[in-house]
Amino acid sequence: MSTILITGANRGIGLEMTRFALADGHTVIATARDPENATALNAMTRITNDLSVRALDVADTASLLAFAAETPEPIDLAILNAGVMTARGGVEDEGHDLAAWQHALTVNVAGPFLTAQAILPNLERGTNPRIAIISSQMGSNARAGGNAYPYRASKAGATNVASNLATELKPRGIAVGSYHPGWVRTDMGGDGADLSAEESARGLLDRFEVLSLETTGVFETYTGAAMPF
Ligand SMILES: NC(=O)c1ccc[n+]([C@@H]2O[C@H](COP(=O)([O-])OP(=O)(O)OC[C@H]3O[C@@H](n4cnc5c(N)ncnc54)[C@H](OP(=O)(O)O)[C@@H]3O)[C@@H](O)[C@H]2O)c1
């Protein structure tokens, strides 16, 4: 059984991945920006000793340092899931202002990079260590939809970070992949999305199980279909 880190685990796909990982018998370190108000996670800690809930804001240096200091254990799988959506319109959408660009690029691109950097010593002591970055098909150049500019660019950046980490960390024994979770009914995906968070989370965890040094650098969907970059 593995020790799995899941960021942004207090709601949405991260919360469902936490539920399934625990049901599969793993030990989970689930992070939330505001752990005191992570109601669903805190309820789970009352029925299992295999879940630890810790504070982490992936866009805050002090929070990253505090999380690393409070996390001494080896990590086998790091699921870098925390992310934000910004305005979804075309080029003239007033939501695409500088603050939106900074927010999307900081949380969705720098966030997974800085988290991976913070926990690299833990991964190097892990068994079959892997990093899974939750990206999106919206970041694929082959699927450029002509809208949601900061979000799409940020997810292209997230996939790029995963590819570069895969290259650099392969000789150090750490496999890295990036994943499209599907269009999922969460606060981000909305009620009209295709998939439940349960379906997406189950598929993603199954894909992470087969991530290896042989397949490192993959960009694929929650069903294992290859995504164009
Ligand atoms: N839903 C979809 O259809 C879809 C499709 C493609 C990709 N994705 C990606 O899948 C991932 C999960 O999405 P979701 O649908 O579950 O979204 P969600 O329901 O909006 O949840 C987002 C999670 O990220 C956390 N988060 C946001 N900013 C953070 C920060 N600075 N530091 C740490 N955590 C932060 C949130 O914490 P708070 O509760 O504190 O805000 C929350 O736990 C995201 O990376 C998203 O881009 C989703």
- Going from N- to C-terminal start, the domains of the chain cover 3-221
Given ligand 1 and candidates 161, 186, 195, 219, which is best to mutate, with the most ligand atoms within 8 Å of its CB?
Answer: 186
Identity at 144, one-letter amino acid code: A
First to last CA, the chain: 32
| Ligand 1 neighbours by CB, cut-off 6 Å | 7-8, 10-14, 33-34, 56-59, 81-84, 107, 134, 136, 180-181, 183-184, 186-189, 193
Cβ 52 vs Cβ 71: under 8 Å? no
pLDDT of the chain along its 229 residues, tens only?
A: 999 999 999 999 999 999 999 999 999 999 999 999 999 999 999 999 999 999 999 999 999 999 999 999 999 999 999 999 999 999 999 999 999 999 999 999 999 999 999 999 999 999 999 999 999 999 999 999 999 999 999 999 999 999 999 999 999 999 999 999 999 999 999 999 999 999 999 999 999 999 999 999 999 999 999 999 9
SS3 32: strand
Q: Looking at the chain, list the stretches that DSSP marks H as alpha helix, in order from N- to C-terminal side.
A: 12-23, 39-45, 61-69, 98-105, 111-124, 149-169, 197-209
- For the domain covering 3-221, report its CATH number: 3.40.50.720
130-134 and 219-221 as β-strands: parallel, antiparallel, unpaired?
unpaired
137-151 pLDDT per residue, tens: 999 999 999 999 999
Number of H helices, E strands in the chain: 7, 7
Phi, psi of 118 (to 5 degrees): -65, -30
User: 12 CA distance to ligand 1 centroid (A)?
Assistant: 7
Half-sphere exposure of 43 (CA within 13 A, CB side): 6
- Report residue 49 as tokens: 């000793």
